[in-house]
Amino acid sequence: MITDEQIKAAILLKLYKRGNWGASHTSFENLKKGFKIGELGKKGLKRIDDIGKEVIRTGLILRKPTHYGLEISLNPREHKTIYEILKKFFEI
Protein backbone atom coordinates (compact mmCIF):
# COMPACT_ATOMS: atom_id res chain seq x y z
CA MET A 1 0.00 0.00 0.00
CA ILE A 2 1.13 3.52 -0.82
CA THR A 3 1.91 5.87 2.11
CA ASP A 4 0.40 9.32 2.57
CA GLU A 5 3.80 10.92 1.92
CA GLN A 6 4.11 9.05 -1.39
CA ILE A 7 0.64 10.22 -2.42
CA LYS A 8 1.53 13.80 -1.50
CA ALA A 9 4.71 13.59 -3.57
CA ALA A 10 2.81 12.04 -6.51
CA ILE A 11 0.27 14.89 -6.42
CA LEU A 12 3.05 17.47 -6.45
CA LEU A 13 4.85 15.61 -9.25
CA LYS A 14 1.68 15.52 -11.35
CA LEU A 15 1.28 19.31 -11.09
CA TYR A 16 5.03 19.82 -11.63
CA LYS A 17 5.06 17.76 -14.84
CA ARG A 18 2.02 19.62 -16.15
CA GLY A 19 3.71 22.96 -15.44
CA ASN A 20 0.89 24.08 -13.15
CA TRP A 21 2.66 26.86 -11.27
CA GLY A 22 0.87 30.01 -10.13
CA ALA A 23 -1.63 31.13 -12.77
CA SER A 24 -1.64 27.79 -14.65
CA HIS A 25 -4.39 25.70 -13.04
CA THR A 26 -5.90 22.24 -13.34
CA SER A 27 -9.03 20.76 -11.81
CA PHE A 28 -8.81 19.31 -8.31
CA GLU A 29 -10.61 16.24 -9.67
CA ASN A 30 -7.62 15.52 -11.97
CA LEU A 31 -5.55 14.54 -8.92
CA LYS A 32 -7.31 11.17 -8.76
CA LYS A 33 -6.23 10.16 -12.24
CA GLY A 34 -3.33 7.74 -12.49
CA PHE A 35 -3.64 6.12 -9.07
CA LYS A 36 -4.43 2.41 -8.85
CA ILE A 37 -7.33 1.87 -6.46
CA GLY A 38 -5.78 -1.36 -5.18
CA GLU A 39 -2.71 0.53 -3.94
CA LEU A 40 -4.73 3.11 -2.01
CA GLY A 41 -6.15 0.81 0.63
CA LYS A 42 -9.50 0.90 2.35
CA LYS A 43 -10.51 4.53 1.72
CA GLY A 44 -9.47 4.41 -1.93
CA LEU A 45 -9.85 7.66 -3.87
CA LYS A 46 -11.15 9.45 -0.75
CA ARG A 47 -7.54 9.35 0.48
CA ILE A 48 -6.46 11.37 -2.56
CA ASP A 49 -9.09 14.02 -1.78
CA ASP A 50 -8.08 14.18 1.88
CA ILE A 51 -4.35 14.43 1.16
CA GLY A 52 -4.97 16.98 -1.62
CA LYS A 53 -6.92 19.17 0.83
CA GLU A 54 -4.13 18.77 3.39
CA VAL A 55 -1.52 19.94 0.87
CA ILE A 56 -3.69 22.97 0.10
CA ARG A 57 -3.86 23.77 3.84
CA THR A 58 -0.07 23.58 4.12
CA GLY A 59 0.27 26.16 1.34
CA LEU A 60 2.17 24.04 -1.19
CA ILE A 61 -0.82 24.17 -3.54
CA LEU A 62 -2.87 27.26 -4.33
CA ARG A 63 -6.63 27.01 -4.80
CA LYS A 64 -8.81 28.96 -7.19
CA PRO A 65 -12.55 28.41 -6.73
CA THR A 66 -14.54 28.72 -9.97
CA HIS A 67 -18.19 28.28 -10.85
CA TYR A 68 -17.38 24.88 -12.41
CA GLY A 69 -15.23 23.50 -9.57
CA LEU A 70 -12.02 23.93 -7.64
CA GLU A 71 -8.86 24.64 -9.66
CA ILE A 72 -5.38 24.17 -8.18
CA SER A 73 -1.74 24.97 -8.96
CA LEU A 74 1.65 24.77 -7.27
CA ASN A 75 2.60 27.72 -5.09
CA PRO A 76 5.66 29.40 -6.68
CA ARG A 77 6.65 30.87 -3.31
CA GLU A 78 7.09 27.33 -1.94
CA HIS A 79 9.23 26.07 -4.85
CA LYS A 80 12.19 25.10 -2.64
CA THR A 81 10.03 22.94 -0.37
CA ILE A 82 8.26 21.38 -3.35
CA TYR A 83 11.59 20.51 -5.02
CA GLU A 84 12.87 18.95 -1.78
CA ILE A 85 9.80 16.71 -1.52
CA LEU A 86 10.05 15.71 -5.18
CA LYS A 87 13.78 14.93 -4.93
CA LYS A 88 13.11 12.74 -1.90
CA PHE A 89 10.78 10.46 -3.87
CA PHE A 90 11.64 10.95 -7.56
CA GLU A 91 14.63 11.72 -9.76
CA ILE A 92 13.95 15.18 -11.15
What confidence score (pLDDT) does residue 67 get?
95
Q: Could you confirm whether domain 4-89 is CATH 1.10.10.10? A: yes
Domain boundaries defined on the chain: 4-89
Give the C-alpha separation, 88 to 36, whole Å: 22
What confidence score (pLDDT) does residue 89 get?
95
pTM of this prediction?
0.93
What confidence score (pLDDT) does residue 92 get?
79
Per-residue pLDDT of the chain (92 residues; tens, 9 = 90+): 899 999 999 999 999 999 999 999 999 999 999 999 989 988 999 999 999 999 999 999 999 999 999 999 999 999 999 999 999 999 87
CA-closest candidate to residue 72, choices 89, 81, 59, 87: 59
What confidence score (pLDDT) does residue 50 get?
96
What confidence score (pLDDT) does residue 31 get?
93
